[in-house]
Structure 1
Amino acid sequence: MEHLQHFEQTKNKLLKQIASISSYVANFSTQTTQKELQTVIDTLQREQFEVMVVGEFSNGKSTFINALLKNEVLPHSNVPTTALLNKIYYAKQPAFSVHYSNGKQEPLTKEQFDTFVSEDKQQMDGIASKIRQKLSMTKAAPTHLEVGYPTDLCRNNVVLIDSPGTNDMDEERVKITDEYIPRSDAAIFVLNANKIFSASEEAFLQRIMDADIKKIFFVINFKDLVPADQLKEVEDVFYKHVPTSIETNKVHFISALHALRHYVPQAQTETMSRRQQRKAQQQLPLHETGIVEFEDALKQFLTYDTGKEKLRKPIERTKRLLGEELDRVSFELQSLVHKIDDIDRHTASIQNQLATMKKDMKSKSSKLKQSIENQSQQIAVWYKKEAQNIIQKANDTANTHIQRGKDVNAIKTEIDLATAKMETKLKQSLTDRIEELLHNTVGRETTALQNEMTTMMDKLFVNAAQKADWSHIPVAQRKEQTSSNVREGAIIGGLIGGFLLALSGGTIGWGLLGGAAVGVAVTAYTSSNEDVYDELRKQVRKRYDKAYTAQGKEVEKQLAKLASTMQEQYENYTQQLIEKQTAKTKTLLNNQHLSLAAQQNKISMLEERQIQLRQHGEALTATLQNYSNNQGVKAHAYSTVN
């Protein structure tokens, strides 16, 4: 069975298992649990693999994608094209559409789609304006294009995302590329065997290398144009630029045009000279084009590395919910087998403690907010200082290379190389500091709160256990195991994720700081190099200073919002714990007043429920284990063959 088909079958099996669990617990679980299970199901149903394709315009990226699709779906061009993403998904019939920032979309003919993709930006803006006028969407801007196509690669929920070229200086191009790669399941970096790793490609690689290198495939295109005895030299140059830890199955020499011609005999390419086109007439066999081996490696990676993680997350979330139900069963069994003297007085005391907690909740949350705000201000000051270092580095780099008389485009690349690692480090350090802040504030408070709640009930059961032997009762957990740490992690993780998303893409980068504007400004000055350099200095100062000033304000704003959100989350969490503890107190009181026969019947029912819940959890674990074992065997077979 093909890798991706096996993933889909396992996903469908898992959906049925979780639906069965949801149906089983519906009669006794809380509404919160039922909603969470439905969320797990909905999320898993929407799960798909997103594969980002990046590369400079001269590297044959469109031809490569067409080779994967086995047809000429994307038009080719010799000039930089529109700064729109193309999302390619499976459809039984070809379909094309443009999507706008207001959520609306418009179907396109193939000819209109080709115009959007292949025309330069100025022409595209004019075409888009006409369509917007037709749709009364004058305030909306096109965000991306979508292509539905009957291609085998996308049949099993794989979406190809064709990004703008990485060497283009349009702000939106680089911004989209930088934001999408971290969110993708895999990325394909298309290089040119004739000019392996240009300066701009090296700068781009530095931005993505630290965080995302493990999921990046390197496709070195035009292998047919390099003499066989020189391929090793190209390979050596490649490995000088990438980490030594890069896996060999992530590097592929390919002839995209020759591969495409096996599916479309008259296929053309966007970047070949006449001499190169004559040489390309010598058709390579399909297995020598490298495309088949690459597809196998990509599918293997998506299925085993990424696919396993996509299955693990819903399984762990469902097992956590099952664990909470088991906790409730365990508590009820304890409340039935313990005979607690003066139960009414004890439960009244617990209710009074809960009332005091609720009363004190606002003051505690206010202190928590104040603590977060104080530490957030320190983070904001630190961030601005580090940002100033990047601004200074950009200006110093510009001045140094201006003095050497370098070309403007080369200077922009040097600035990118000089600031890329600094920006990546700044983003990661910001995340680390926020994480530490939240763990040291809300983490401690929620842990203390949970411990206080647990102690209330523990005292009752400890006293009762000293008077009665209940070891014969098959209760899995004598002491209730809470999921407070899991929930705390979910709260903190969600807040950090939202915080970073609000900052819109992290690193600011030369391309994100208006590189296109610099290019336009520079071309307008032709009287002397000094005029060009003066304009470049102004643009560098303006763009870096302006962007980081805005980013610093946004960091302050989001940190302030983080404190308020954390206060609200803490209050909600406290309220939920109080409600759960109140419900437990009522359950305890009711069970203590049951007749002996009623208690025995309820114990039998709860023991059966305990068995069923465990079996559901074990079945989920087995599903993931079977998937992992199956894919492990396939991965070993693949590595042995290759």
Structure 2
Amino acid sequence: MAAYLNRTISLMSGDDPGIRGPSLAVGDGRSLRDSSPLQIFVKAKKKINDIFVEIEDYVRDAVAYVQSLQQERSIVKSDDAVQVEGYIVKVKGIRDVLMRDHMKVAFFGRTSNGKSTVINAMLREKILPSGIGHTTNCFLQVEGSDSGESYLVTEDSTEKQNVKSVGQLAHALCKEKLGESQLVHIYWPKDKCLLLRDDVVFVDSPGIDVSPNLDEWIDRHCLDADVFVLVSNAESTLMLTEKNFFHKVSTRLSKPNIFILNNRWDASASEPEFLDEVRAQHMERAVSFLVKELKVCTQKEANERIFFVSAKEALQARLLEQKGQPAHSKNKTPIQPY
């Protein structure tokens, strides 16, 4: 799964040379959709869901049988009975994810680590407000609009608020005075972004270091996510707040798909003599976190889930590409495409 999503993110972001071929012209929506690896993902989820329907039946039968034996303490301990009952919730959570026809990617990290900029870079357009003077203060879900219009819909409302620019979006979000756990749906024209055209949904979040309501966040916005992306700051290291959040997530979901982006890797250009050493240190800690602490993947899989990026540089390069200008300056710092 990790290797597949790894390639998918690279391909759909446009960094794979095959995405620029004539058979995938931007105006040819059907060709783009049929050629996308994400369609394989959607079809696979439907087949897997059929399997989990049967698994849920087996689990319910097992729970009923264990409950019938609970009075016989010598056969079934109370702790074992509780553990078996908990499997129903986990299987239901998996089925809820599999029943959807889109891929939900949720981004988390500390305040100002660049989550919004990462999403903008993957979408190849500055959709979410980001940068100095702006911090995301609620959950923002970016999804495709079939109507060609860009608008937002706040939680508990059906009113469409037209949004024509990032500045207007920032003003609208500020005006709403939303709580940190609330969700705003941002609809952006599918013909402007390959990822949205393939029903990928991006969820931006407030900093996990500023809220005590992590359990509520997980219940409301995380249980149906297909992929989690931890955006960390490459200028520091994985912090306890980041680790604690994903420990909570892993207790609620069976082996969540977690990727780690070490953002602001361009800062390493100022000290090139330490680049390899710092990179190895980040890799060691990130792999240890995924493999030994969370136990969500093997070491080989973990190596395919850790990236070193500069979201700001990637976004600037892709905006220049759209204007027909050279995308990259002479930067000797190796930045992974995503």
- TM-score, normalization by structure 1: 0.32
Partners of 2:138 and 2:205 within 8 A in 1: yes
| Alpha-carbon separation, structure 1, partners of 2:101 and 2:252 | 22
Tell me the CA shift for residue 61 of structure 1: 1.0
Match of 1:250 among 268, 280, 305: 305
Query: In structure 2, do the counterparts of structure 1 residues 91 and 98 end up closer, same or farther at CA, with 3 Å as the change threshold?
Result: closer
Match of 1:112 in 2: 168
Tell me the CA shift for residue 76 of structure 1: 0.9
Partners of 2:142 and 2:203 within 8 A in 1: yes
DSSP-derived class of the 1:148 partner: strand
**1:53 and 2:123 correspond:** no
Tell me the CA shift for residue 193 of structure 1: 1.1
Match of 1:234 in 2: 282
Query: In structure 2, do the counterparts of structure 1 residues 177 and 291 end up closer, same or farther at CA, with 3 Å as the change threshold?
Result: farther
Query: In structure 2, do the counterparts of structure 1 residues 87 and 218 end up closer, same or farther at CA, with 3 Å as the change threshold?
Result: same
Partners of 2:140 and 2:183 within 8 A in 1: no
Partners of 2:152 and 2:161 within 8 A in 1: yes
Partners of 2:108 and 2:205 within 8 A in 1: yes
Please tell me the root mean square deviation across aligned C-alpha atoms, in Å.
Answer: 3.6
Match of 1:3 in 2: 37
| Alpha-carbon separation, structure 2, partners of 1:45 and 1:174 | 24
| Alpha-carbon separation, structure 1, partners of 2:256 and 2:291 | 10
Tell me the CA shift for residue 291 of structure 1: 2.7
Match of 2:198 in 1: 156
Query: In structure 2, do the counterparts of structure 1 residues 115 and 102 end up closer, same or farther at CA, with 3 Å as the change threshold?
Result: closer
Partners of 2:234 and 2:262 within 8 A in 1: yes
- Greater mean deviation of Cα atoms: 199-208 or 236-245: 236-245
Query: In structure 2, do the counterparts of structure 1 residues 251 and 12 end up closer, same or farther at CA, with 3 Å as the change threshold?
Result: closer
Tell me the CA shift for residue 148 of structure 1: 1.4
| Alpha-carbon separation, structure 2, partners of 1:197 and 1:12 | 35
Query: In structure 2, do the counterparts of structure 1 residues 291 and 91 end up closer, same or farther at CA, with 3 Å as the change threshold?
Result: farther
Please identify the structure whose Cα radius of gyration is greater: 1
For this pair of structures, how many residues does the alignment match? Answer: 230
Match of 2:135 among 52, 58, 81: 81
Match of 2:233 in 1: 192
Q: How does 1:144-223 map to 2 (within 5 A)?
A: 144-149=184-189, 150-169=192-211, 171=213, 175-212=216-253, 213-223=255-265
Match of 2:335 in 1: 289
Identity %: 23
Tell me the CA shift for residue 12 of structure 1: 11
Q: Deviations over 1:285-310 (max 9, x none)?
A: 9xx53234xxxxxxxxxxxxxxxxxx
Tell me the CA shift for residue 179 of structure 1: 3.0
Q: How does 1:205-604 map to 2 (within 5 A)?
A: 205-212=246-253, 213-226=255-268, 227=272, 228-229=275-276, 230-244=278-292, 245=295, 246=297, 247=301, 248-265=303-320, 283=331, 288-292=334-338
| Alpha-carbon separation, structure 2, partners of 1:194 and 1:11 | 37
| Alpha-carbon separation, structure 2, partners of 1:80 and 1:114 | 8
| Alpha-carbon separation, structure 1, partners of 2:218 and 2:98 | 26
| Alpha-carbon separation, structure 1, partners of 2:185 and 2:319 | 24
Tell me the CA shift for residue 235 of structure 1: 1.7
- TM-score, normalization by structure 2: 0.57
* AA aligned opposite 2:286: F
| Alpha-carbon separation, structure 2, partners of 1:44 and 1:58 | 32
Tell me the CA shift for residue 142 of structure 1: 6.7
Partners of 1:97 and 1:106 within 8 A in 2: yes
| Alpha-carbon separation, structure 1, partners of 2:319 and 2:176 | 31
Match of 1:532 in 2: none
Match of 1:128 in 2: 176
Query: In structure 2, do the counterparts of structure 1 residues 266 and 84 end up closer, same or farther at CA, with 3 Å as the change threshold?
Result: farther
DSSP-derived class of the 1:4 partner: helix
Partners of 2:105 and 2:203 within 8 A in 1: yes
| Alpha-carbon separation, structure 1, partners of 2:235 and 2:266 | 10
| Alpha-carbon separation, structure 2, partners of 1:9 and 1:201 | 33
Query: In structure 2, do the counterparts of structure 1 residues 44 and 215 end up closer, same or farther at CA, with 3 Å as the change threshold?
Result: closer
Tell me the CA shift for residue 64 of structure 1: 0.7
Tell me the CA shift for residue 177 of structure 1: 4.6
Tell me the CA shift for residue 90 of structure 1: 2.2
Query: In structure 2, do the counterparts of structure 1 residues 206 and 198 end up closer, same or farther at CA, with 3 Å as the change threshold?
Result: same
* AA aligned opposite 1:209: S
Query: In structure 2, do the counterparts of structure 1 residues 12 and 50 end up closer, same or farther at CA, with 3 Å as the change threshold?
Result: closer
DSSP-derived class of the 2:249 partner: helix
| Alpha-carbon separation, structure 2, partners of 1:239 and 1:142 | 32
DSSP-derived class of the 2:105 partner: strand
Tell me the CA shift for residue 70 of structure 1: 0.8
Q: Deviations over 1:599-638 (max 9, x none)?
A: xxxxxxxxxxxxxxxxxxxxxxxxxxxxxxxxxxxxxxxx
* AA aligned opposite 2:257: K
Query: In structure 2, do the counterparts of structure 1 residues 174 and 148 end up closer, same or farther at CA, with 3 Å as the change threshold?
Result: farther
* AA aligned opposite 1:198: M
Tell me the CA shift for residue 210 of structure 1: 3.6
* AA aligned opposite 1:161: V
Q: Which has the higher strand share?
A: 2
Tell me the CA shift for residue 263 of structure 1: 0.7
> Relative contact order (C-alpha < 8 Å, sep 6+): which is higher?
2
Q: Deviations over 1:389-415 (max 9, x none)?
A: xxxxxxxxxxxxxxxxxxxxxxxxxxx
| Alpha-carbon separation, structure 1, partners of 2:202 and 2:246 | 20
| Alpha-carbon separation, structure 2, partners of 1:237 and 1:12 | 35
| Alpha-carbon separation, structure 2, partners of 1:243 and 1:9 | 29
* AA aligned opposite 2:113: N
* AA aligned opposite 1:154: L
Partners of 1:86 and 1:147 within 8 A in 2: no
| Alpha-carbon separation, structure 1, partners of 2:312 and 2:159 | 36
Q: Deviations over 1:305-332 (max 9, x none)?
A: xxxxxxxxxxxxxxxxxxxxxxxxxxxx
DSSP-derived class of the 2:112 partner: helix
| Alpha-carbon separation, structure 2, partners of 1:48 and 1:151 | 15
